[in-house]
Amino acid sequence: MGMMERMRSLSPILIGSVIVTFLILMVLGDVDLPQIFNFGGGVRPTTVVGVVEGEKLLYKDFEERVRKAAEQQRKQMQQQGIEQDVDENLIREQVWNQYVNEVLMRKEAERAGVFVTAGEIADALLVDPPDYLKQAFTDSAGVFHRDRYIQLVTNPDSYADLLPDDPSIDKEAEVAKWKRNLVDIENTLLLQRMQQKLQSVAGWSAATFSPAYLERRYIAENAYVAMDYVFLDAMKVSLPPNAVTADEIRAYYESHKQYYKTRPMRKIKYINFPIVPSATDSARTRKLIDQISAELAAETDPAKRDSIFSHYFATLGGRTQKVSKMTDLDPAKQAFIGGLQVRQVAGPVTLNNKTYFFRLDYRGPSTDTTVRASHILIGFGNNKDSARKVAEQVLARVRGGEDFAKVAQEVSEDKGSASRGGDLDYFGRGRMVKPFEDAAFSAAVGSIVGPVESQFGYHIIKVTDKKTEAIEYSEIEIGYTVSPQTKKALLREAYSVAQQLENGENIDTLAKRLGKRAIESVWFESSQPFLSSMEVTQFAFAHKVGEVSRPFELRFYGYTIVQVSGIREKGIKPLEDVEDQIRDRLLARKRVESLKSRAEQIARQLQQAGTLDAIRTIDTTLRVMSAARVTEQGQLPTGVDVALAVQAFSQPVGKISPALRGEAGYYVILVREKHEADPKGRDAGIEAIARRKRQEALQNAFFTWLSNLRQNADIEDYRAEIFSR
């Protein structure tokens, strides 16, 4: 993709009214429900989507943010070859959260006297531009063209001069788009810089560590022992179900209540109406497939089969694909297209529950051969002759058998490609400087050529692949789709269920009568999108137990009727919620405890034998394990056990230990060596730990602060009402 192309790509009342309307619909019959209820439409631009600390977010502004985010995500998915549409409900949630955070950060920055100056934004934009901006001005050789970048950032009107003289291109509109992009970029940089400053304010105290703590961390991470050990694994111990009593669970709960705090939570019951093709829909699709198949089968003349394919291709909206070689095709499709002659038709072919008809349109030489190459760049520096000698030495190394990618990472001055072992991916003519292009296109695949001189320095080039073939094919894809009539029928049924629940029907009884199942959720918090939908979560937190929703149309679930089944306010989780968790914890402890006497006996026997290897004759189910480096962080071949690691440092070298209790079981160990933390690396090590810990503290403190800020902020969210229309 060229530089220019990359730049251009840069409420109860409502429910009541719904049920009343539903009664009318029962009389009207097969009408367009979405149109009557105006789902997602008819919202005025000035409608308020939400209010955060007094600041209103209008519908038009919110939807513009959603549109931009969705557009960006679609581009990313296309680049990654993902054939799937974006989830706009999820994007709306992301955009809403981003907006709330923006407002809260800006308000707190004002209160704290934290400001981001225009000079700081200019520095971030011009002196040290972000990578995503530099990328559009970087050529395939990894060279960032700063002069062009500075020109377009400081004088955006000059963008028009770079656009081709093509009548189809509206230069004024493209310049306006570039200016809007710059404004968005500046706002993003401002928010990033503001967040960095707020992180410092929120985390300065949390990021202060005493010298004694840092010293202790350095020792804990760098002092180690080498040891052999015998491990009695508690997970292999089987205990009866009544090993932990109800009294023990309650006693533990009462003494540890402070660890079981909870935020407000909700529980719902729901019935799904999957939006799937009806028998009529399937029969219609099958009839279409059979019709095309029959028409093709009735003709033996290739030209007439081609004509039939062309007719349905145009009628059903087929698509034409182009690949560089047959092996680039999906293997499943390759099996059917690979053996076709040009203009020959194949099908029906069933792949992934869809039916295809294929036609090979072209197979032959490509008019746009592409090459994939890697390079090592040696810049001229102050002495061009010296640089050439270095390049020749590097050429000799890679031709002599050294790994090209490793050498590129080591010596190449093109740091962008060096991190990828020199790989430049595929490129066509006109993408690289002329000397580089000529050398790459004339070299055979697998060959290494150079030194090739360009204005950037000397290049050592390895050609890794060439694509000289082109294949074009057309396909008609027919899937079993849901007709509008089927969707209307499902929606009518969903509204009927909602009405019956509103009239007092029991959701479990009603679901059973319909041959469906009422599913009850787990407890969830207000920040969790239940069934991947914040609309469902918002409904649950805005309504009382027993209240019923209108049908939500949810991706992957279909039409869903929700009834609030439980409300839990902020406080301590009840015992019933944590009973299984406590039982598991106590069972784990008892498993370890049950090993004590056996471990002590084994330890005495091993001490008498004077070697851990005697375990072979004592217990054939156990064996000796070795660990060459065990720090207090407790990483062992059998898993992490900090409790055992700490005890290992207190054991004498060369002597078999008594039975040592760890977190995962019991151990008998023999410490072979002890190594103190290297005093020579102490200062640098402590400084590295301090930097790491400061960054962790700043990050954690900021997001904890922001989470608490959101919990206590004055936020009004009307999305559930607006987008359910």
Across 251-318, where does the E strand assignment appear? 261-262, 265-273
pLDDT at 140: 56
Q: Tokens standing for 470?
A: 């082109």
CA angle 298, 303, 309 (to 5 degrees): 70
Domains of the chain: residue spans and CATH? 3-201 (no CATH), 224-258+578-675 (no CATH), 262-276+484-570 (3.10.50.40), 279-366+473-479 (no CATH), 369-467 (3.10.50.40)
Find the range with the poorest average confidence among 35-49, 165-179, 277-291, 447-461.
Answer: 35-49
Pick the closest to residue 606 from 651, 653, 659 (CA basis): 659
Per-residue pLDDT averaged across 201-220, rounded? 76
pLDDT at 708 over 50: yes
List b or e across 335-355, with b for residues whose CB sees 16 or more CB atoms inside 10 angstroms: ebbeebeeeebbbebeeeeeb
What percent of the chain shows pLDDT beyond 70? Answer: 89
Please give the helix or strand (H or E) that residue 450 lies within, else none: strand 448-454
Weakest mean pLDDT among 221-225, 334-338, 394-398: 334-338
The identity of residue 319, as a single letter, is R
**410, HSE (Cβ side, Cα atoms, 13 Å):** 9
Distance CA 606, CA 658 (A): 9
pLDDT of residue 129: 78
Report the alpha-carbon distance of residue 143 to residue 661 in Å, rounded.
59
Q: CA-CA distance, 143 to 153, in Å (whole number)?
A: 18
Angle at which helix 246-255 crosses helix 575-594, to 10 degrees, equals: 110
**Residue 724: which pLDDT band, with cuts at 50, 70 and 90?**
low
The predicted model gives 669-696 an average pLDDT of: 86
How large is the average pLDDT for residues 101-118? Answer: 79
Report the SS3 class of residue 117: coil
What pLDDT shows up at residue 561? Answer: 95
The model's pLDDT over 539-585, given as tens digits with 9 standing for 90+, comes to 899 899 999 998 998 888 899 999 999 999 888 989 988 999 999 99
Confidence of residue 201 (pLDDT cuts 50, 70, 90): low
pLDDT of 678 higher than 90: no
Identify the band that residue 1 occupies on the pLDDT scale cut at 50, 70 and 90.
very low
Instruction: Give the tokens for residue 468.
Output: 């000289």
80 pLDDT higher than 90? no
Residues 269-287 as b/e (b if ≥16 CB within 10 A, e otherwise) read: bbbbbebebbeebeeebee
Is pLDDT of 516 > 90? yes
Tell me what the mean pLDDT of segment 85-105 comes to.
82
pLDDT of residue 161: 79
Alpha carbon distances (Å) from 698 to 202, 205, 209, 685: 7, 9, 12, 20
CA distances from 366 to 59, 288, 321, 440, 705 (A): 49, 36, 14, 17, 58
pLDDT confidence tier of residue 227, bands split at 50, 70 and 90? very high
Q: What is the pLDDT of residue 97?
A: 85
Q: What is the per-residue pLDDT for 115? A: 76
Task: Note if the pTM is more than 0.75.
Answer: no
pLDDT at 725: 46
Q: Mark out the alpha helices in 425-482 (DSSP H runs).
A: 434-442
Inform me whether the pLDDT recorded for 18 exceeds 60.
Answer: no
Average model confidence (pLDDT) across the chain = 83
Cα of 170 vs its chain's centroid, Å: 36
Q: How confident is the model at residue 139 (pLDDT cuts 50, 70, 90)?
A: low
Give residue 562's pLDDT. 95
**Residue 703: φ, ψ to 5°:** -70, -30
Distance (Å, whole) CA 169 – CA 171:
6
Q: What 8-state DSSP symbol labels residue 530? A: B
Neighbour tally for 65: CB within 10 Å: 17
pLDDT tens per residue across span 603-662? 999 999 999 999 999 999 999 999 999 999 899 998 999 999 999 999 999 999 999 999
Give the per-residue pLDDT at 199: 67
Which pLDDT score is estimated for 185? 81
Determine which of 13-27, 209-223, 347-361, 671-685 has the lowest per-residue pLDDT on average: 13-27
Which tokens belong to 577? 């919620």
Q: Which amino acid is at 280?
A: T
Amino acid at 203: G
pLDDT at site 682: 86
Q: Which of 93-97, 123-127, 597-601 has the lowest mean pLDDT?
A: 123-127
Say whether pLDDT at 29 is over 50.
no
